[in-house]
Amino acid sequence: MPRKIIVFGNQKGGTGKSTLAMHLVVSLLLKGFKVATIDVDARQGTLSRYIENREKTKQMNSDILMPMHTAVVDSTNDLISLMEKENLNNFENKIESLTDFDYVIIDTPGNDNSLSQIAHSFADIIITPMNESFIDLDLLVKIRELGINDLKPSIYAEMVWNKKKEKAIRDKQSIDWIVLVNRMSNAASNNRHELTKVLQALSKRIGFRLASGFKERVIFRELFLSGLTLLDKNVTNLQTSLSHIAARQELNDLLKALDITNKYEN
């Protein structure tokens, strides 16, 4: 199976990118894949801290599976052209060093910078989580009115489109872009229904597939402190609840959207 590079990206924080990324990483490890992770979010470094917490827990329980993790730090060169060149060289070198892995999972910052754009251009799959809010819809389109015909692509959507063209020219390959609504409230709402209708209408116009993410759960914040996920059931003292079962099903739905099965079933 050729290596897949999956980038979690948007230009807004607080959408659960790192939580989704870590659960995807652990699910891939449990399915027998070799997984590497790259954090290009030097300022916040949530994925790096998640994995650092996991490494500490592993010292007490050797059964915990770990990815090979690294971070790529943004260049501090004052000249934009040299800064972008250094970032591209550093990122390319890192990617080239990970050819033996089945999956490379990349977490990007919730803002626009050179490294984030470079990471997007190397993606085979881009996963863009957004909160269940019309405010977050501004990530994809410039909201003027709720009329679909009046919505224009946002700066982020235009950036993804440009990176798709860049990858097609450089690698002769395409990027599969998936937008998912994440951190959903537990109760169904008219807002969710209307938001889903707008996203479904936009998906063909902007060029993404629509998927579902995780509902909002306190357990995710608690698991972060130990670097664990809901899939680490053999090394946690958590009693399985209906909420945990539902969360695992949500993760399984994401894996289906990504067409991921066990390594030796491919």
Q: What is the arithmetic mean of pLDDT over 112-131?
A: 93
Q: State the angle between helix axes of 17-30 and 242-257 in degrees (0 to 180), rounded to the nearest 10.
A: 80
**Residue 68 scores a pLDDT above 60:** yes
Q: Alpha-carbon distance 192 to 208, whole Å?
A: 18
Residues in the chain: 266
Per-residue model confidence (pLDDT) at position 106? 97
Q: How far is C-alpha 230 from the chain's CA centre?
A: 17
Q: Alpha-carbon distance 264 to 242, whole Å?
A: 30
- At 9-37, the pLDDT tens digits run 988 888 889 999 999 999 999 999 999 99
Q: What is the arithmetic mean of pLDDT over 46-59?
A: 94
Per-residue model confidence (pLDDT) at position 227? 93
- At 130-175, the pLDDT tens digits run 888 777 787 787 765 555 556 677 888 899 999 999 999 999 999 9
The band of 221, judged by pLDDT with boundaries at 50, 70 and 90, is confident
| pTM for the structure as a whole | 0.90
Per-residue model confidence (pLDDT) at position 237? 63
Q: Alpha-carbon distance 42 to 49, whole Å?
A: 11
Segments forming the whole domain that contains residue 261: 4-265
Per-residue model confidence (pLDDT) at position 245? 78
CATH of residue 133's domain is 3.40.50.300
Residue among 189, 221, 224 at smallest CA distance from 52: 224
133-142 burial, b if ≥16 CB within 10 A, otherwise e?
A: eeebbbbbbe
Residue among 139, 137, 257, 152 at smallest CA distance from 191: 137
Highest averaged pLDDT of the listed ranges 91-105, 133-147, 190-204: 91-105
Q: Alpha-carbon distance 128 to 168, whole Å?
A: 20
Domain count, the chain: 1
Helix spans in the chain (H): 17-30, 46-58, 80-96, 114-121, 155-171, 190-206, 218-224, 242-257
Average per-residue pLDDT for the chain: 86
Q: What is the arithmetic mean of pLDDT over 84-97?
A: 94
